[in-house]
Amino acid sequence: MSSVWLPCGDYHQNYAADQGWWQTRFIKGKMILLLLTVFVGIPLFAGEYWVSVGTMVGYTAMGALGVQLLIGYSGLLTLGHAAFIAVGAYTSTMLILQFPWPHALMDSGLAYPISIIVAGIAAGLWSVLFGLPSVKVKGFYLILTTMAAQFITVDFILTQYISQIGGRGQAFSLPPGTIRIGPWVIDNERSVYYLMAVLLTLMVIVLANLLRSKPGRAWVAIRDNDIAAEALGINIVWYKLLAFFVAGFMAGIAGAFWVCNTAALSPEHFQWFLSLWLVGVILIGGVGSIQGAIFGSIFMVVVMELLQMAAIPLADYWPSLLMDFAYIKDMAFGLAICAFLIYEPNGLAYRWWQAKNYFNLWPFSY
């Protein structure tokens, strides 16, 4: 019985078993239930409004995974991650609208999938460019460098130059039916949600496997003590730049996904507050945990939606409340960060870990 339910009753004979994703049949059942909930339960039984909320949770988690890799696993502080999401979004959009694709690729629906991969690579390389100063600086100075990426990319290059291509002014709009993957046309809330779920699942799998590999162990060593890591023979320059590339690649994927979830793409979607928001997500969810990025995204998006739902009835007595909600949202974000830093500095992932341990070790929860 213990080998089925309790992880403390498992004895691994090799490294592969010790590093297995699903240690027991009970954990396997939990993960299958989770996947069924994400891919079947929510899109089929939730209303369109809550499906769109789920999409926003996934988009936030996709962006937060890259921030988690840099801050939580590599110890590289960043406050400009929205810039790399923007690079991915604009790369994908420009490839779809401006690139002379062969008719065979357009007709077969391969233009958008290819643009997602190219967007990830472009954002990754752009991230490496602004990650180069991490070779010489760290901490507060690296924060300023990543903030420079935000202002140079979004406020200067995208706003003043890229957005003007084609005489569209400030926004790019994709005609209906443009976003396709093969015969699958992504043109409604549920299809957008399914794409998000697939991309987020793949990103989590890739990042989790990277963290269990040689680069992942090197990133953690650099985070804990970069001088000691270098003394042990770890090429800290290479692994820092690799962390920036992987984080930028994931941000580019998130940006390319965002293209299908907006009617018109504008630099206003990628302001500096989004970078700050993503850092707040991992602080609330738990720094140094993939689950933390997901828990933090769920908490922040759902709480803000509930606040907005609560504000709608009050608008009859406070007419300007809905117009002022953006400021209320910022205030709630700041209060949530302060509350978690004071009362739960390890984040929601730590509480989830405690709850799992209590359940797994019950009734011997010592």
Domain assignments of the chain as residue spans, ordered by start: 46-270
d(CA 192, CA 206): 21
pLDDT for 168 equals 56
Rounded to two decimals, the pTM is 0.91
Query: Where would I find the beta strands (DSSP E) of the chain?
Result: 180-181, 184-185
d(CA 116, CA 122): 10
Tens of pLDDT along the chain (366 residues) come to 444 555 555 667 777 777 777 777 778 888 899 999 999 999 998 889 999 999 999 999 999 999 999 999 999 999 999 999 999 999 999 998 888 888 888 778 888 999 999 999 999 999 999 999 988 888 888 898 899 999 999 989 998 888 777 655 567 778 777 888 988 889 889 999 999 999 999 999 999 999 999 999 999 999 999 999 999 999 999 999 999 999 999 999 999 999 998 878 888 899 999 999 999 999 999 999 999 999 999 999 999 988 888 777 766 666 666 666 677 788 889 999 999 999 999 999 999 988 887 777 776 655
Given a contact cutoff of 8 angstroms between Cβ atoms, the answer to whether 261 and 192 are in contact is: yes
HSE (CB half, 13 Å, CA atoms) of 205?
Answer: 8
pLDDT for 7 equals 56
SS3 state of residue 65: helix
**List of long-range contacts for 13-20, beta carbons under 8 Å, 24+ apart:** 19/212
Q: Enter the DSSP assignment of 111.
A: H
pLDDT for 2 equals 45
Q: State the chain's maximal CA–CA distance in angstroms.
A: 68
List beta partners, residue 184: 181
pLDDT for 1 equals 43
d(CA 3, CA 358): 17
Nearest to 55 by CA among 310, 274, 305: 305
d(CA 53, CA 35): 18
Nearest to 195 by CA among 112, 120, 267, 282: 112
Given a contact cutoff of 8 angstroms between Cβ atoms, the answer to whether 282 and 276 are in contact is: no
CA 91-267-297 angle, 5° bins: 85
Amino acid symbol at 173 = S
pLDDT for 315 equals 65
d(CA 254, CA 325): 26
Pairing of strands 184-185, 180-181: antiparallel
d(CA 20, CA 10): 12
pLDDT for 28 equals 84
What DSSP assignment string belongs to 149-203? Answer: HHIIIIIIIIHHTGGGGGG-TT-B-PPTT--EETTEE--SHHHHHHHHHHHHHHH
d(CA 78, CA 349): 21
d(CA 217, CA 232): 12
Q: Enter the DSSP assignment of 293.
A: H
Nearest to 255 by CA among 126, 168, 156: 126
